[in-house]
Amino acid sequence: MSFQPKTAIEPFRIKSVEPLGITTLEQRRAALVRAGLNTFQIRADEILIDLLTDSGTGAMSAAQWGAMLLGDETYAGSRSFFKFQAQVQKITGFRHVLPTHQGRSAEHILFSSILKPGQVVPSNTHFDTTRANIELLGVETRDLLVAEGKEPMLERPFKGNMDVEQVGRDQVPVVMITVTNNAGGGQPVSMANIRDVSRICRRHGIPFFIDACRYAENAMFIKLREAGYAGRTPLEIAQEMFSYADGCTMSAKKDGLSNIGGFIALNDDAWAERCRNRMIAIEGFPTYGGLAGYDMEALAVGLEEGLDEQYLRYRLGHTAHLGNRLLDAGIPIVRPTGGHAIFIDAGAVLDHIPWHQFPGTAMSAYLYEISGIRAGEMGSLIFARKNADGTTIPAAHELLRLAIPRRMYTLSHLDYVAEAVAYAAEHKREIRGLRFTYEAPVLRHFTARFEWV
């Protein structure tokens, strides 16, 4: 006989703790007023559980903290860079590795080096900073997510897949695919789909890049859900994923398990030279690229730890635990659960609030008010698009994202979150829509201010 526990424990023990920001209802209401009802503007010490983002917010391991003491801060030719480079090359197989301080800087350097106005960059779904870095150059972003159709959600294990039939070639300098697909509900992309996109790109001579923020979670989904991969390690699956691409950008603040850092990795010598020259002016010398040596030491360890199978089983199961608790409470969420976040259908919960009054943002403000939990909108505040005639196309769904930092919160924290969300849904008539008192022209969700309608 063998013991088969029903409880999925964290595959680590806690070595250091930090007190939470426990506040009163009156304090949280005052914080919301100061923040203009935008949870991005609330101070960290006013937050109880922070699910705004999983980017750079996780807990680093003892091995990572220890590695930081080995950081070589030499300006040019740092030993820490070569450790970091070797780890990236082991995983991706790409020849050139350019460190950056985070993913959006990698995107800016790459896109400003290779794109020209009037071009089109297709993806399964561009995320906010990726879209902004492309569109600020006068280039169109085009989302080609496979349509839902009539197929039930629960029978779609790879809802992040790109519609390869729509990948054109006119004015397309590069094709991107995001793994996992954050804007599409944190859903994975299958190896078959990555292979098909690669085949189309190579047929037309178009470079193919991966936005690799959560590549390790995607690799684990492939292991668990795609035929033929159950016996492969996450590293082996990741290596195959990257073998179909010509390069990648990565915010290593996600599956790099670190608090800062990113990179561009690619094979093309000419593109690498262009990026490297631009990088020197923006980020720094090519062997540090905006990072300290100790950051690169932590990243070299974190990239390896992020592919550990036991960690990844815990990571996906941890997220699914919160999803299951919400489903038990009757809360509509994007299904099946993704790797890094739960996406609540705020438009369905708050069906009395129209899209232009931002139900996801309204639910986020209310959730913070009642519980001290910070979440983030993934709806029309971020993804609405303007037509040439001035009309607005709303986002496909009005979602509230509960992004779960890595190795940070326990199951009891997530149970508390589920209780608070259920309370918000039960008292939805207390939640009103929002209107702008300030709206920035680009990436407005970061700095917008609102008032209740």
Q: Tell me what the pLDDT averaged over the chain comes to.
A: 94
Topology agreement, domain 25-54+308-452 and domain 62-305? no
Residue 343 tokens read as 């996406």
In order of 32, 51, 125, 309, 364, the CA distances from 361 in angstroms are 12, 14, 21, 35, 5
The third-level CATH classification (topology) of the domain covering 62-305 is Aspartate Aminotransferase; domain 2 (3.40.640)
Q: What is the pTM of this model?
A: 0.94
> b/e string for 135-145 if b means 16 or more Cβ within 10 A?
bebebebbbbb
Alpha-carbon span 327 to 347, nearest angstrom:
16
Q: What is the pLDDT of residues 212-256, one digit of tens each?
A: 999 999 999 999 999 999 999 999 999 999 999 999 999 999 999
Contact 67, 301 (CB under 8 A): yes
Q: Kindly report the CA angle at 366 between 363 and 367, in degrees rounded to 5?
A: 80
DSSP character for 428?
A: G
The pLDDT confidence band at residue 356, using thresholds 50, 70 and 90, is very high
Residue 48 tokens read as 């109880």
- Strands 140-143 and 120-123 turn out to be parallel
CB atoms within 10 A of CB 75: 10
Q: What is the pLDDT of residues 92-136, one digit of tens each?
A: 999 999 999 999 999 999 999 999 999 999 999 988 888 989 999
The third-level CATH classification (topology) of the domain covering 25-54+308-452 is Aspartate Aminotransferase, domain 1 (3.90.1150)
| Concatenated DSSP letters of 238-282 | HHHHHHT-SEEEEETTSTT-SSS-EEEEE--HHHHHHHHHHHHHH
Q: Cα 447 from chain centroid? A: 19
Lowest mean pLDDT among 360-369, 374-383, 419-428: 374-383
Sequence ranges of the domains in the chain: 25-54+308-452, 62-305
Lowest mean pLDDT among 63-67, 141-145, 306-310, 319-323: 141-145
